[in-house]
Amino acid sequence: MTKPTNFDLRDFMPYLLNQAADATSREFEPTYKAKYRMLRTEWRVLFHLGHYGRMTAKEICDRAQIHKTKVSRAVSALEQKRFLRRKEQPEDRRHETLSLTASGQSVFATLVEDAQRFDAALMTEFTEQEANQMRAFLIRIAKL
Amino acid sequence: MTKPTNFDLRDFMPYLLNQAADATSREFEPTYKAKYRMLRTEWRVLFHLGHYGRMTAKEICDRAQIHKTKVSRAVSALEQKRFLRRKEQPEDRRHETLSLTASGQSVFATLVEDAQRFDAALMTEFTEQEANQMRAFLIRIAKL
DNA sequence: CCTTATTGGTTACTTTTGTAACTAACAACA
DNA sequence: TGTTGTTAGTTACAAAAGTAACCAATAAGG
């Protein structure tokens, strides 16, 4: 009855994805952590605002698939660092629009460069075509 | 001086990897969490022991790239669940060899099936060739 | 209007993780 | 032997994440 299971963790996609994600994140984390004392979620929120301009916390939750409490905490932290500002919407006072301050934007600009440099370095071992396939694949898996 | 940064998070590999890893893990987690009240690290340790037979905590750390405190805690938890057993090595009493108990092995067997089923379902949207490329790519990125 | 959802966001409490300091066993070498 | 260094693993404490309960504000239906 006992099957001769030859199951290798390296055949299990979630495991591989986690290992790869961890490896790259561990390497990149110091960039924003050391420079700006930011947490991963803060980094993500900053990037969403930097890229999309302005959005509500809810929109960030939906787009980035982060739980609202995590976003809430990240927003507070970024606010305390004076990287973003909230603005209550008069037509619906439950919403608040978030946007980067000038200093938030300059931090964003710096971190974008770091990210691009990091990504370029990471992908040197792969051809442009491989990189594109990868991205497409991951986007499908993550349902982005 | 301000560059018209057109940086999309979806161009940043660590972000994509994390999103994909999170998405798949969130989906798979209930399998071992609901059935056996196991944590992710416990699951991983169990799988390493199930696959390689017996090894020390240190070997698991190295192979799975998990920090020793996390492994230590997972080992204790699995021991309490009677899924594994420790055996001190007489020739070097700092080492202890870990191995699955009978019940640990049967849990492992069940979870392997779940994992295989999950992986198969996840990959239905991709060709065999795509899947293999993906795995190869991730193994390179994760330096496994 | 008034009651009952629903929605955006925060707070309080618990569980898990990260970090550093620690113990015990061994190794190396004077 | 004794001192110093290293290694496997644990423990204690702090930081972070998950979960659920909680406010307001609004919507919806009688």
Write down the pLDDT at residue A34. Answer: 93
Instruction: Take residue B18 and report the two structure tokens written for it.
Output: 């994390």
Whole-angstrom distance, CA of residue A54 vs CA of residue A73: 18
A123 falls within a domain: yes
Residues 55-114 of chain A sitting with CB below 7 angstroms of strand C: 56-58, 61, 68-69, 71-73, 75-76, 94-96
Q: What pLDDT is stored for residue A144 in this prediction?
A: 86
Residue A37's pLDDT is what?
96
Do the domain assignments include residue A64? Answer: yes
Could you tell me if residue A2 is inside a domain? no
Q: Which domain holds residue B36?
A: 25-142
pLDDT number for residue B6: 78
For residue B90, give how far its alpha carbon lies from the nearest alpha carbon of chain A (Å). 30
Which nucleotide is closest to the Cα of A29 by its C1'?
C18
Long-range contacts of the stretch B41-45 (C-beta < 8 A, 24+): B41/B66, B41/B70, B41/B71, B41/B73, B41/B74, B42/B74, B42/B77, B42/B78, B43/B111, B44/A9, B44/A15, B44/B74, B45/B71, B45/B74, B45/B75, B45/B78, B45/B84
Number of domains in chain A: 1
Chain-chain contact of A14 with B5 (C-beta, under 8 angstroms)? no
CATH of the domain at A112: 1.10.10.10
Q: Of the candidates B8, B24, B48, which has its C-beta nearest A17's C-beta?
A: B24
- The predicted model gives B35-50 an average pLDDT of 97
What tens digit of pLDDT does each residue of A29-55 get?
Answer: 999 999 999 999 999 999 999 999 999
Asked whether strand C has any atom less than 7 Å from the CB of B80, the reply is no
Q: Is residue A5 part of a domain?
A: no
Residue B50 covered by a domain: yes
The alpha carbon torsion through A73, A74, A77, A81 (nearest 10 deg) reads: -160
Q: What is the pLDDT of residues B12-21, one digit of tens each?
A: 999 999 999 9
Q: How confident is the model at residue A1 (pLDDT cuts 50, 70, 90)?
A: very low
Q: Which residue is nearest to nucleotide D7 (CA to C1')?
A: B94
pLDDT in tens, B64-119: 999 999 999 999 999 999 999 999 999 999 999 999 999 999 999 999 999 999 99
Average pLDDT over residues A63-89: 97
